[in-house]
Structure 1
Amino acid sequence: MNVWQVLGASAAAFLLALLSAVAGFGGGVLLLPVFTALFGLRTAVPMLTLTQLSSNGSRVWLNRKDIRWPLVGWFALGAVPLAVAGGLLLAHAPLGALKRMLGVFLIGVVVWRHLRRDPGKPGDKAFIGVGAASGLGSALLGSVGPLTAPFFLAYGLARAAYIGTEAASALTMHLAKLGAYGAGDLLTRTVIVYGVVLTPATLAGAWVGKRIVGRISDRVFVLLVEAGLLLSGVLFLVGF
């Protein structure tokens, strides 16, 4: 194990877990290019899933009183089967085209939110479709947290309710992905060791982020989320 790789990955995991704890998403999307540069894409995606498992689990615990569990259930109905399918397809999927499509979608969502003043509140069952799209995309790309953000925001969730509900939904998806990666022989010794080593950094980042998010207004929170959507979209478009 290369000590400089560990230090670099730990620093990135801490900073991006902090970002996820504040904005509810974004850490995985921004961590993927870091892990890819350090370890290669096929190792980076399952390693990122292990890192996100601890990050999302900590956000669930820290925001457990505000989670909307019925939404988590509807999300899981779509996310779990598609996450398993995507995890089994990872070794052969054309990732470049999918990333660019997601980049266009994420930027378009922010534009759409500002052009349409009253986008309407999605129904609970709509989150089956949100979960299905997220499960497939996440299994292939490691993280598509920004994909779900507009729907949770349109539902009316903010701050602790949004962060906790999104994290609990993502947790069901990541557990399903790990099962698929294991079946596809992608959970190598390197992936597991680094996933364990990086867990303390992600937990620390989530804890610090929780302290920050309670001090910002709902308006600033939404602006942070939209900024994250735009940044994530650009990163996908330029090929990360």
Structure 2
Amino acid sequence: MNLGAVAVLAAASAAAYGLAVLSAVAGFGGGVLLLPVFTALFGLRVAVPMLTLTQLSSNGFRVWLNRRELRWRLIGWFALGAVPFAVAGGLLLARAPLGPLKRLLGVFLIGVVVRRRLHPHPRRPAERGFALVGAASGLGSALLGSTGPLTAPFFLAYGLTRAAYIGTEAASALTMHLSKIAAYGAGDLLTGRILLFGAALTPATLAGAWTGRKIVGRISDQIFTKLVEIGLVVAGALFLIGW
């Protein structure tokens, strides 16, 4: 590995660590912010499958750290919709127009926060409804690299917070990322270079997830919810401006 590749890996590792901390605290956000970093370093078509590899390790570790608080029924319903649509999105990645989808998602996320402010006690969604959440998230994630902010409002409305929220969201996302990896492989998007960098970034994402877990244990449910809402607005703004 030459000096230039080492410098790129160091920059990517630093970003992966910091944003894995963010994901572990808010339950999402790392992928949304890491995508533009990876895109600048590697290009979009390489960045999306590489981001999926880093999310695979990060979400897997978050599931393990919060394993006692998982809501398995929600995870099952989410996976029912997420798996087939993640595979379909992974196969479409090479040809899909990503710009309009990003802007639509940005409007949705900001609108969710506004609605939560106007109606602070939303109706609890049915467990079966998470199959639709999973379908939308699976398709969007396969095309955009990460749609963690899309699922956050539904898990919050169900009443999950802190460890239950972070662990259940991570386990749901894990089913989606595994499906995307299979689709990217079928579409010849997983090159040796992508696999090498994905493996090299794993220690940084695991360290970030562990650090974030320690931070979550020190904040209240109210602060946690506000952090998630701030993250939704930031993610929505980034999608709107085309990141």
**TM-score bucket (shorter structure):** over 0.9
Distance 1:138 1:114 in 2: 26
Matched, 1:123 2:145: no
Distance 2:234 2:86 in 1: 24
Matched, 1:194 2:205: no
- Fraction of identical pairs, as percent: 75
Could you say which residue in structure 2 is the equivalent of 1:69?
A: 72
Could you say which residue in structure 1 is the equivalent of 2:15?
A: 12
Distance 1:106 1:11 in 2: 27
- Look up the equivalent residue of 1:155 and give its one-letter code: Y
Let me know the Cα RMSD of the aligned residues. Answer: 0.6
Distance 2:103 2:228 in 1: 20
- Cα deviations by residue, 1:65-102 (Å, 9 ceiling, x for unpaired): 00001100000000000000000000000001111111
- Look up the equivalent residue of 1:30 and give its one-letter code: L
Q: CA deviation at 1:116?
A: 1.5
Instruction: Find 2:108's aligned residue among 87, 105, 108.
Output: 105
- Look up the equivalent residue of 1:109 and give its one-letter code: V
Matched, 1:78 2:95: no
Could you say which residue in structure 1 is the equivalent of 2:43?
A: 40
Distance 2:15 2:109 in 1: 23
Distance 2:197 2:229 in 1: 31
Instruction: Find 2:156's aligned residue among 137, 153, 162.
Output: 153
Q: CA deviation at 1:111?
A: 0.3
Distance 1:179 1:3 in 2: 28
Further displaced range: 107-116 or 131-140:
107-116
User: How many residue pairs are counted as aligned between the two chains?
Assistant: 240
Instruction: Find 2:54's aligned residue among 51, 65, 71.
Output: 51
Could you say which residue in structure 2 is the equivalent of 1:25?
A: 28
Where has structure 1 moved over 3 Å in runs of 4 or more? none
Distance 1:8 1:107 in 2: 30
Could you say which residue in structure 2 is the equivalent of 1:89?
A: 92
- Look up the equivalent residue of 1:115 and give its one-letter code: L
- Cα deviations by residue, 1:31-68 (Å, 9 ceiling, x for unpaired): 00000000000000000000000000000000000000
- Look up the equivalent residue of 2:82 and give its one-letter code: A
Q: Which runs of 5+ in 2 are unaligned?
A: none
- Cα deviations by residue, 1:91-133 (Å, 9 ceiling, x for unpaired): 0000011111111110010001111233200010000000000
The normalised TM-score by structure 1 is 0.99
- Look up the equivalent residue of 1:78 and give its one-letter code: G
Q: CA deviation at 1:189?
A: 1.2
Distance 1:191 1:96 in 2: 24
Distance 1:38 1:105 in 2: 28
Distance 2:130 2:136 in 1: 10
